[in-house]
Amino acid sequence: MTDAPPQTALAASGLEKRYGKVHAVRGIDLAVPAGRCLGLLGPNGAGKTSTLEMLEGLSEPSAGEIRYRGEPLGARFRNEAGIMFQHTALPEHISVRETLRMFSRLYPRTRSVEELIARCTLEEFLDRDSRRLSGGQRQRLLLAIALINDPDILFLDEPTTGLDPQARRNFWHLIEDIKAEGKTVLLSTHYMEEAYTLCDEIAIMDHGQVIALGTPDELLARHFSDVILQLPIDAVADPERLPFEIRRKHDHLEIETGDVNGTLAQLLAAQVPLGGLRIRGRTLEDLFLELTGEALRG
């Protein structure tokens, strides 16, 4: 007996957004299965923010429709959605605990404040004014606020921007716990590793359209059949004497090849030292550059 396919939590059909003469979003179709995480990636100006704002119900589409569990966005969606904005002004001169209690009074259905404190590890700074929070502490508080109505669908708009690597990974653990509860998540991010770690599916946008959609591994397999050989920057004195292209990337050299053994043989024949050689598979960063010609950080 096979498992039934998951129901669609949020669906967009023919979605468009215009700002005067600017056509920001151009006929997007998306379906987010319940209990899954969809990542939205795109360079600056790709239409990602406009798309996310329409899906969140904050901006009216110029054309097309959005349905939540088969219904137009309405009271049910507003009660069952949680949003963690990229930029949020927190109330000042009140403590973290008081902030959570204030937001909990805005919804008919809420999670226990004490439960959210434990879930988002807020115990150490509960009595601190929000102006005195570190970046990681502030993001954990914003996540707790987004979860306060016990949402079935959660929107995360670049939730780890500006965090150090350790704080970012700690935040990933929180999101993985939320996913394990069966919540539906839409994640906008600038970090490829974050998208690969958290997202069941990824939609890459450019020029207002979705140009690639699928699981991270599906997308990589669809677009690449080679690997990257990395060498120290000074390993090749004269790159032009080799029968393949060598690209300089920051502090190392890169060779794209679908024949590792053959390429290694050619390097050895050219007396290229291989002591610092590294072989890596293709990444979402490679895919993004391949499809858009831009680095995601823009």
Measured between alpha carbons, how far is 60 from 99 in angstroms, rounded to an integer? 29
Element (DSSP H or E) covering residue 235: none
Q: Please give the order of strands across the beta sheet that includes 278-280.
A: 247-249, 252-257, 227-232, 278-280
Top-level class of domain 8-221: alpha beta
Measured between alpha carbons, how far is 58 from 69 in angstroms, rounded to an integer? 18
Q: Describe the crossing of helices 284-292 and 216-223 by its angle, rounded to 10 degrees.
A: 60
Residue 110, φ and ψ in degrees, nearest 5:
-135, 160
Mean pLDDT of the chain: 91
Quickly state the pLDDT bin for 297 (edges 50, 70, 90): very low
* Matching residue, tokens 């209990």: 35
Strand pairing partners for 237? none
Measured between alpha carbons, how far is 256 from 261 in angstroms, rounded to an integer? 13
- Domain residue spans in the chain? 8-221, 225-281
Q: What percent of the chain has pLDDT over 90?
A: 72
Distance from chain centroid for Cα 61:
22
Quickly state the pLDDT bin for 107 (edges 50, 70, 90): confident
Residue 295 has pLDDT above 80, yes or no: no
Apex CA 106: angle with CA 66 and CA 62, to 5°?
Answer: 20
Element (DSSP H or E) covering residue 249: strand 247-249
State the first-to-last Cα distance of the chain, in angstroms, to the nearest integer. 47
What's the mean pLDDT in 244-261?
A: 90
pTM value > 0.85: yes
> Residues 179-235: pLDDT tens digits?
999 999 999 998 999 999 999 999 999 999 999 999 999 999 999 999 999 999 889
Q: Describe the crossing of helices 96-104 and 135-146 by its angle, rounded to 10 degrees.
A: 20
> Residues 234-245: pLDDT tens digits?
898 888 788 888
Assigned token pair, 242: 């080799």
pLDDT at 114: 93
Measured between alpha carbons, how far is 192 from 21 in angstroms, rounded to an integer? 32
> Residues 63-98: pLDDT tens digits?
999 999 999 999 999 999 999 987 778 888 899 999
Q: Please give the order of strands across the beta sheet that includes 63-68.
A: 22-33, 8-19, 63-68, 71-72
